Chains A and B, each alone.
Chain A
Amino acid sequence: MIPEQKELKPNTNSPLIKIKRKLIEFAVPLLFLVLCIIGAYYARLQPSFLINEIIMRMARNPVLVLALIIPVLAGMGMNFAIVLGAMAGQIGLIIITHYEATGITGVTVAALIAVPFAIIFGYLTGKLLNRAKGKEMITSMIFGFFAVYVWQLFFLVFVGSIIPMRNEKMILSTGVGVRNTVDLVGIRYALDDIIKIRDLPGITIPISTLIVVALFCILITFFMKTKLGQDIRAVGQNMEIAAISGINVDKIRITAIIISTVLAAWGQIIWLQNIGTLNTYGSHVQVGLFAVAALLIGGASVAKANIWQVLLGTFLFHTLFIISPTAGRNLLGDAQIGEFFRVFVAYGVIAVALVLHAWQKHSAAKNK
């Protein structure tokens, strides 16, 4: 093949090129910002309602998205298997609901119970992904699907028959299997309510949850500066070089996935304490999809992500989520269109991001 002629390097200091580069960097978030503004205009929602919804979602959703960052930095792509983390969190919640623990104690105990489960699930996922290097994303996605069915088998068949559980509020009348919905009334708003500001009409700000989110953001930033964090980055940049410099690549990758899974477990608990009901066979299914879509909309790629992209992405994705049904109804006379549209956006943005990333990698490999 004839090597392509090298282009002359453009003057990198020219302000126009700087602006252009910034625009390209923020192209995806900008596009979605425009979409959100158009949608918000047509949705004609009450401003206080919209703001309230956004604040609520900015409190309950980011931890699930944060869970994705470390595997991305470890070069493993989007960890669709955070579904398993969400399951670990739900196991914690099911257990505390069974023993009727309530309030913030209940939430804390659930979070603690979830940890060993999340570590085991994360370890299994990490082991599996180490066997499928280069195909991590599809493997984690299929593993997520697989886990969803195993979860169904477990909670429909084994609970009540093999694992004794007698709480009538949770178990089906046959005595086997957990009900479709588990009422989490005992822990509803347990975290949100610790510090809550209701000064403005129609707007409540769950300060305590927002503080927890901020803490996690700071912790992750700090963690990436530690020795382990640097090793994770090194593995993400180049596995071979990392291995030569004495890093146990496989172990680092498993650690990254375990951290991600534990964060997802806590994220799911934070999310569910706000929602207030556990949809036993549904709450976890879309976790991976929505978190990945949100992170990508924030401007992250499959190989690069940071805290700000998590926050921006959560904000844009969930704003779109709130407004699209009403905008769809007002624009085209059917709220269903808006709902289909947001699902389409979630899948579409992932598809486009994957294609672009693989394309870049492919042409980089070709040019070598």
Chain B
Amino acid sequence: MKNILDLAYNIIGLPRLIISIFLLVFLIAAAVVDLSIPMLTGSLLVRVGMNAVLVLALIPAIKAGTGLNLALPLGIMCGLVGAVVAIEYKLSGAASFAVALAIAVPLAIIVGYLYGLVLNRIKGQEMIVGTYVGFSVVSGMCIFWLLAPFKNPEMVWAYGGTGLRNTILLHSSFDKILNDFLGFKIGEIEIPTGLLLFFGLLCFMVWLFGKTRTGNAMHVAGSNPRFALSCGINIDKMRILGTVLSTILACIGILVYSQSYGFLQLYQGPLMMAFPAAAAILIGGASPKKAAISHVIIGTFLFQSLLVVAPPVINVLVEGSFSEVFRGIVSNGVILYALATKWEGGE
């Protein structure tokens, strides 16, 4: 009996266990204080879909052996530039989303490649370097948003200020373009079909890539560098590939996130976005050295359901808005746990 419990504990892992218990407690509490379950479920589905791509973006980096990619803001910036350009030309609907992607992805390839070159020179310090590269790019881009010669009145301050607005409404471009695609209702629950399909498609592509020769080589390079070397795999090249893929997924991720959110957040908005994503994949059972798509799905689901259920329950008990505090404690706590644990595998 004890062995079975030990085994179960080893499979589930401490973070997943704690978060699940938390979630269970809050769900019971939610039932007790009579929260509308259909509404919560609907918003949970949307939030899982909108955040999951950013979490998925961590997979190629972990597979290639560069650990948790805390420089996600690099890709996010590319996505935002794509979106802003698409809006500047007053595109609307699916065209605006497609153009934003078409601009963002090539940018992400270049940025990811350059960042990959940096990562190859600082092996072992990827997380702290990634964090500060991300921070400095976000704050450097603040100057860009302020000075860039955009003209569309929907984006620039009406008067009294220069540069782009802090938040740009997407109602005339690609607001909810994925969420509403084939959307339908079951009872009171709205299903964001397009959003979930799009995420599923990206998952499938990542999975498919893992099955190819290159994908396999990248995985070997990340999980067992010595063996990879003896197989003639160019480890540095594989690390760059992983970084590029991660950056591309991050730029797609922010566009998916924004279309669901309804507006773009510029300036300091994306500064901290990598941390909840990293927390989500860790909650899902991944480690900085090993991750699978199932970890993305489970982790995003657990983390987001906790974030959906907990704040309204807490608000019944105490006044004030604690969703931010709650998210911060959970996500940073989980990352700390990962940092303070010795993981198997890797070097």
Name the distance in Å between B146's Cβ and chain A's nearest Cβ. 6
Q: Provided the pairs A143-B336, A161-B318, A351-B132 are in contact, do residues A149 and B328 lie with their beta carbons within 8 angstroms? A: yes
Tell me the interface secondary structure of chain B in the complex: helix
A355 contacts B118, C-beta separation under 8 Å: yes
Find residues 133-182 in chain A having any chain B CB closer than 8 Å to their own CB. Answer: 134-135, 137-139, 141-143, 145-146, 148-150, 152-153, 156-157, 161, 174, 176-177
A174 and B319 contact, Cβ closer than 8 Å, known pairs A141-B128, A347-B135, A351-B132: yes
Q: Is the CB of A362 within 8 A of B122?
A: yes
Report if A358-B319 is in contact (Cβ < 8 Å); known contacts: A142-B332, A145-B275, A334-B146.
no
A354 touches B128 (CB 8 A): yes
Which residues on B sit within 8 Å (CB–CB) of A334? 146, 162-163
The residue from A135, A340, A347, A359 contacting B127, defined by CB atoms under 8 A apart: A135
Q: Does B269 contact A (CB under 8 A)?
A: no
Interface string of B114-136 (1 = CB under 8 A from A): 00001001111101110111011
A294 to B: closest C-beta gap in Å: 15
- A144 and chain B: residue at smallest CB distance: B332
Interchain CB contact under 8 A, B320 and A177: yes
- Tell me, yes or no, whether B339 is within 8 Å of chain A by CB: yes
Q: CA of A143 to CA of B133 in the docked complex: distance in angstroms?
A: 19
A141: chain B residues at CB < 8 Å are: 128, 131
**Given A138-B131, A347-B135, A354-B125, A145 contacting B328 (CB threshold 8 A):** yes
Q: Could you list some 29 contacts between A and B, CB below 8 A? A: A131-B340, A137-B128, A138-B131, A138-B339, A141-B128, A142-B332, A143-B336, A145-B328, A145-B332, A146-B328, A146-B333, A146-B336, A149-B325, A153-B325, A156-B320, A156-B325, A161-B318, A174-B319, A332-B147, A337-B147, A340-B142, A340-B146, A343-B142, A344-B143, A350-B132, A350-B136, A354-B125, A358-B123, A361-B125
Chain B residues close to A by CB (< 8 Å) = 70, 118, 121-125, 127-129, 131-133, 135-136, 138-140, 142-143, 146-147, 162-163, 275, 318-320, 322, 325, 328-329, 332-333, 335-336, 339-341
Further contacts, 17 of them, CB under 8 A, given A132-B340, A146-B328, A351-B129: A137-B128, A139-B339, A139-B340, A145-B328, A146-B336, A148-B328, A149-B329, A157-B320, A333-B162, A337-B146, A347-B132, A347-B139, A348-B136, A355-B129, A357-B125, A361-B125, A362-B121
